């Protein structure tokens, strides 16, 4: 579907992934003008990620949204080794969804991003909830890409807390630190990071999950079934009652449903050394800093997520 006028349009670059699935459900429920979904190797490989996205879109009756297959772990990048224990081997908690519709586009995610930037220019807003491999490929050929699109919001980084895949690195950055380094060195109209420092304070409880189940919709029941795996994965950390809303929070910040209260603007650096700090993100505050790292927001993401699903499916 082509969106006319001067309104914003969004592209979700993701690695579904259980919290990616929640982010997608949320974006669809609020009728976000989504001009495409792209996959990238992260929680699963890129082909599986695209397949998962197609299946999720069909589940939510939006099989019309084009899905592109992204880059599969170039040299130095990898599918996150720990991901299967959090997202299941198929990325969706072992839940098998019916296949997506057949008529998906054949262009790759980097090609799709280039083409969307030509079509929509600064109306295009990218939400990246996986490793930044696709974006790095686009920037390698077209260093000015970030200045021509409206914004990019990245779920990623660990600035003042330990990483979640190594003591230093957060999963999306750790999967492809070289790509993340190129992204932060590039110029952007607006580049925002929603790091785990913040997302680990936005939890979705079993009670929240029950509130979604109580909406009594088959597609939401399936989503809750997928999410069950995530509770088990976080059992030790949160005693099984909570999961973090990493990707939904980045999506909610990107669309403006949660408003940034405090943030630091500065320059982000990503460690690309082969040592133990590989993937570490560091923020240096500068007055003319171009990158925003979000510290606090005005609402709990769980509330926004439940209210949005309820408004759409009640």
List residues binding ligand BDR (CB under 6 A).
17, 19-20, 43, 83, 86, 129, 155, 164, 170-172, 196, 246-247
Q: Is 59 exposed, middle or buried (0-12, 13-18, 19+ CB in 10 A)?
A: buried
CB of residue 32 to Ca ion, shortest distance in Å: 17
**Which of the stretches 2-10, 20-28, 101-109, 255-263 binds Ca ion when contact is defined by CB under 5 A?**
20-28
Is 197 an interacting residue with respect to Ca ion (CB under 5 A)? no
Kindly tell me which residue out of 108, 109, 129, 292 binds Ca ion, with binding defined by CB under 5 A.
Answer: 129
Q: Is residue 51 close enough to count as binding Ca ion by CB under 5 A?
A: no
Question: Which token pair is 231?
Answer: 């509770």
Residue 40: contacted member of ligand BDR, Ca ion, none (CB under 5 to 8 Å, by partner type)? none
Q: How many residues bind Ca ion, per CB under 5 A?
A: 6
The residue (of 15 and 208) whose beta carbon lies closer to ligand BDR is 15
Residues 240-279, interacting with Ca ion (CB under 5 A): 247
Q: Which of 241, 80, 93 is nearest to 164 (CA)?
A: 80
Closer residue to ligand BDR, CB minimum distance, 47 or 311: 47
> Residue 112 binds what, of Ca ion, ligand BDR, none (CB under 5 to 8 Å, by partner type)?
none
> From the CB of 21, what's the least distance to ligand BDR, in Å?
9
17 is a site residue for Ca ion (CB under 5 A): yes
Minimum CB–partner distance for residue 247 and ligand BDR (Å): 5
* Beta strands at 281-285 and 260-270: parallel, antiparallel or unpaired: antiparallel
Per-position x/- string for 80-119, each x denoting binding to Ca ion as judged by CB under 5 A, each - no binding: ----------------------------------------
Query: How far, in Å, CA of 183 to CA of 169, rounded?
Result: 16
Q: Which residues bind Ca ion (CB under 5 A)?
A: 15, 17, 20, 129-130, 247
């Amino acid at each position: 579907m082509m969106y006319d006028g001067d309104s914003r349009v969004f592209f979700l670059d993701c690695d579904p992934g259980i919290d990616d699935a929640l982010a997608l459900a949320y974006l669809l429920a609020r009728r976000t003008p989504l001009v495409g979904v792209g996959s990238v190797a992260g929680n699963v490989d890129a082909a599986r990620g695209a397949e998962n996205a197609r299946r999720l879109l069909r589940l939510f009756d939006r099989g019309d949204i084009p899905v592109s297959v992204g880059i599969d772990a170039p040299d130095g990048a990898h599918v996150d080794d720990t991901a299967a224990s959090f997202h299941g081997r198929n990325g969706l908690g072992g839940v098998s969804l019916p296949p997506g519709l057949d008529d998906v586009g054949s262009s790759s995610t980097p090609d799709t991003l280039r083409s969307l930037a030509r079509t929509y220019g600064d109306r295009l807003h990218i939400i990246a909830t996986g490793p930044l491999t696709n974006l790095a490929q686009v920037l390698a050929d077209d260093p000015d890409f970030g200045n021509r699109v409206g914004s990019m919001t990245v779920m990623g980084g660990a600035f003042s807390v330990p990483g979640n895949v190594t003591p230093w690195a957060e999963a999306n950055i750790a999967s492809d630190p070289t790509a993340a380094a190129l992204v932060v060195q590039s110029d952007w109209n607006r580049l925002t990071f929603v790091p785990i420092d913040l997302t680990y304070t936005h939890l979705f409880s079993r009670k929240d999950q029950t509130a979604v189940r109580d909406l009594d919709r088959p597609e939401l029941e399936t989503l809750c079934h997928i999410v069950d795996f995530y509770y088990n994965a976080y059992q030790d950390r949160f005693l099984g009652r909570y999961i973090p809303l990493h990707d939904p929070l980045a999506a909610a910040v990107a669309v403006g449903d949660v408003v940034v209260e405090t943030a630091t603007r500065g320059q982000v650096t990503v460690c690309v050394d082969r040592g133990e700090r590989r993937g570490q993100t560091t923020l240096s505050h500068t007055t003319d800093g171009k990158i925003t790292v979000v510290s606090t927001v005005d609402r709990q993401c769980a509330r926004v997520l439940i209210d949005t699903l309820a408004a759409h499916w009640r």
